[in-house]
Amino acid sequence: MTGDGGEHSKKKQSAKQCPSRMQMDLSEEQEADLKEAFNLLDSEGYGTIDARDLKVALRALGYEPQKDKMKKIISEIDKDSMSGTLLYEEFKRIMTEKLFDYENDEEIRIAFPLFTEGKSDFITVNDLRRVAAELGETLTEEVFQEMIREADVLDHDGVISEQEFRRVMKRENAY
């Protein structure tokens, strides 16, 4: 049992170290739901699931993974045994990353109109000034201009589109 606990904490640390995410701790309810889903997919009771089972679980989260993506996901996670099957901790790692990716997308979708006050499809320098002031931040005009330049990479029109905003927020350690 000691080896199992060590493996569990190693996997949990691995999920937490994903650089493009904030903290990825599951609630007890989320953990229980994943365990229940895994047990349902592990119909034979061997303690493992295969790629088809993982694909079913990912579809339940709204993802439609391609066959080559599935192979890549499993080979990256299942490096040790190369069995083509996943243990619960491996399944949990994949599902946690996808779950938090979905939640982060939703947060980004909600955040964009907060910058524009819902009045525009673009974030302007004035929007950045207003948000900075609301947050009590004192920034120079150069900083605001640099923020626009850094984000305005798709069409270089001097404003930040929702797509450009999404790209910035998806960068490592963006939020």
pLDDT, one tens digit per residue, over 107-152 is: 788 889 999 998 999 999 999 999 999 989 999 999 999 999 999 9
pLDDT, one tens digit per residue, over 6-59 is: 444 433 333 333 433 344 677 888 888 888 889 988 988 999 888 778 888 877
Contact (CB, 8 A) for 122 and 164: no
Q: Is the pTM of this model over 0.85?
A: no
Contact (CB, 8 A) for 114 and 134: no
Contact (CB, 8 A) for 14 and 24: no
The count of C-alpha atoms lying within 13 angstroms of the C-alpha of 34, restricted to the half-sphere facing its C-beta, is: 22
